[in-house]
Structure 1
Amino acid sequence: MTKNGGAAVPDQATTTRTRTSRSATSPVVEQLRDRAMMLFVIAGLAAGVILWATGLTTALAVIAYLVLGIVIVVTAIEMAWDLLRGHWGLDILAVIAMIATLAVQEYVAGLIIALMLTGGEALEDLAARRASRELDQLMSRAPAFAQRIHPGTGQVESIGVDEVQVGDELLVRSSEILPVDGVLLSEHATIDESSVTGEPLPASYHAGDGLLSGTVNSTASFTIRAQKVAAESHYASIVRLVEEAVGSRAPMVRLADRYAVPFTVVSLLIAGLAWFLSGDPVRFAEVLVVATPCPLLIAAPVAFMGGMSSAARLNVIIKDGSVLETLAQVRSAAFDKTGTLTQGRADVVEVRPGARTAEETLRLAAAAEQYSVHVFAEAVIAAARARQLALPEVTEAEEVATHGVRASLTGGTVVRVGKPAFIEEVAGPIDRPALRAGETAVYVSVDDELAGLLIVSDPIRPHAAETIARLRAAGVAEIAIVTGDVAPTAESVAQLVGIGTVHAETTPQTKVEIIRAIRPRPVLMVGDGINDAPVLAAADVGIAMAGRGSTVASESAAAVITSNDIARVADVAHVSRRTVHIALQSIWMGIIISVGLMLVAAFGFLPAVVGALLQEVVDVVAIVSALRALQAFKGAQRDRP
Structure 2
Amino acid sequence: MRFLRWFVRFPIVWLTIVVLIVVLALGAAGYERTTKWIAVVYVSLIIAWTLVGMIRDVMRGHVGLDVLAVVAMIATLAVGEYVASLVIVLMLSGGEALEDYASRRAKRELTSLLDRSPQVAHVLVHPQSDSDEVQDADAADVRVGDVLLVRPAEIVPVDGTLLSDDGSFDESSLTGESLPVSRSAGDEVLSGSVNGSRAVRIRALRRSADSQYQQIVELVKQAQEDRAPTVRLADRFAIPFTAVSLVIAGAAWAISGDPTRFAEVLVLATPCPLLIAAPVAFLGGLSRAAKAGIIVKGGAVIEQLARVRSAAFDKTGTLTEGRPDLVAVVPAAGFAEDELLTLAASAEQYSSHVLADGIRRAAAARGIHLLPAVEAHEVATNGVTAQIGGRTVVVGKPAYVASLAPDTVRRGIREGEAAAYVAVDGRFAGTLVLADDPRPESAAVVAWLRDTGVERIAMLTGDAQATADAVARGVGITDVHAELLPPEKVHLAAQMRPRPVMMVGDGVNDAPVLAAADIGIAMGAKGSTAAGEAADAVVLKDSLAGIADAVSIGRHTLRVAYTAIWIGISLSIALMLIATTGVIPAVAGALIQEGVDLATILYALRALTGPATGLVIPTAKPHEREPVAEAA
Which category describes the TM-score, using the shorter chain as reference length? over 0.9
Q: Distance in 2 between matches of 1:430 and 1:239?
A: 47
Deviates more, 1:61-70 or 1:454-463: 454-463
Contact 1:528 1:551 in 2 (8 A): no
Q: Distance in 2 between matches of 1:208 and 1:393?
A: 20
Map of 1:621-640 to 2, 5 A cutoff?
621-632=599-610, 635-636=611-612
Q: Distance in 1 between matches of 2:364 and 2:13?
A: 69
Determine whether 1:71 maps to 2:46.
Answer: yes
Aligned to 1:372: 351
Contact 2:36 2:82 in 1 (8 A): yes
AA aligned opposite 2:136: I
CA apart distance, 1:396: 2.0
1:535 paired residue among 507, 513, 521: 513
Q: Distance in 1 between matches of 2:397 and 2:128?
A: 48
1:362 paired residue among 341, 361, 372: 341
AA aligned opposite 2:535: A
2:224 paired residue among 246, 266, 269: 246
Contact 2:507 2:528 in 1 (8 A): no
Determine whether 1:117 maps to 2:92.
Answer: yes
Determine whether 1:159 maps to 2:136.
Answer: yes
1:281 paired residue among 259, 270, 280: 259
2:582 paired residue among 604, 610, 614: 604
Q: Distance in 2 between matches of 1:204 and 1:123?
A: 44
Q: Deviations over 1:468-499 (max 9, x none)?
A: 12212221111111111111111111111111
Aligned to 2:483: 505
Map of 1:197-596 to 2, 5 A cutoff?
197-249=175-227, 251-355=229-333, 356-389=335-368, 391=370, 394-411=373-390, 413-428=391-406, 432-548=410-526, 550-596=528-574
Deviates more, 1:462-471 or 1:593-602: 462-471
Q: Deviations over 1:94-152 (max 9, x none)?
A: 00111111111111111111111111111111111111111111111122223333236
Q: Distance in 2 between matches of 1:553 and 1:114?
A: 48
2:115 paired residue among 105, 120, 140: 140
Contact 1:270 1:599 in 2 (8 A): yes
Q: Calculate the aligned-residue CA RMSD, in Å.
A: 2.1
Deviates more, 1:371-380 or 1:42-51: 42-51
Q: Deviations over 1:356-389 (max 9, x none)?
A: 3333322221222121111221221232333344
Q: Distance in 2 between matches of 1:393 and 1:604?
A: 88
CA apart distance, 1:612: 0.9
Q: Distance in 1 between matches of 2:444 and 2:18?
A: 58
Deviates more, 1:300-309 or 1:60-69: 60-69
Q: Distance in 1 between matches of 2:441 and 2:318?
A: 11
Contact 1:402 1:507 in 2 (8 A): yes
TM-score, L = length of structure 1: 0.91
1:261/1:32 CA distance change after superposition, 3 Å:
farther
Give the match's secondary structure for 1:484: coil
Identity %: 53
Give the match's secondary structure for 2:169: strand
CA apart distance, 1:54: 4.2
AA aligned opposite 1:316: I
Q: Distance in 2 between matches of 1:289 and 1:614?
A: 9
Paired residues in the alignment total: 611
Contact 1:234 1:550 in 2 (8 A): no
Q: Deviations over 1:196-239 (max 9, x none)?
A: 11112222222211111111222422222221222221111111
Q: Distance in 1 between matches of 2:405 and 2:494?
A: 35
CA apart distance, 1:392: 5.1
Give the match's secondary structure for 1:125: helix
TM-score, L = length of structure 2: 0.92
Contact 2:502 2:520 in 1 (8 A): yes
AA aligned opposite 1:501: D
CA apart distance, 1:89: 0.2
CA apart distance, 1:337: 1.0
Deviates more, 1:45-54 or 1:465-474: 45-54
Q: Distance in 1 between matches of 2:35 and 2:153?
A: 62
Deviates more, 1:448-457 or 1:316-325: 448-457
CA apart distance, 1:637: 6.1
Deviates more, 1:277-286 or 1:166-175: 166-175
AA aligned opposite 1:296: L
Contact 1:481 1:502 in 2 (8 A): yes
Contact 1:268 1:288 in 2 (8 A): yes
Give the match's secondary structure for 1:195: helix
Contact 2:408 2:427 in 1 (8 A): no
Contact 1:145 1:158 in 2 (8 A): no
Q: Distance in 2 between matches of 1:53 and 1:478?
A: 70
1:640/1:32 CA distance change after superposition, 3 Å:
farther
Give the match's secondary structure for 1:599: helix
Q: Distance in 2 between matches of 1:415 and 1:285?
A: 83
1:640/1:48 CA distance change after superposition, 3 Å:
farther
Give the match's secondary structure for 2:174: coil
Aligned to 1:42: 17
Contact 2:314 2:460 in 1 (8 A): yes
Give the match's secondary structure for 2:307: coil
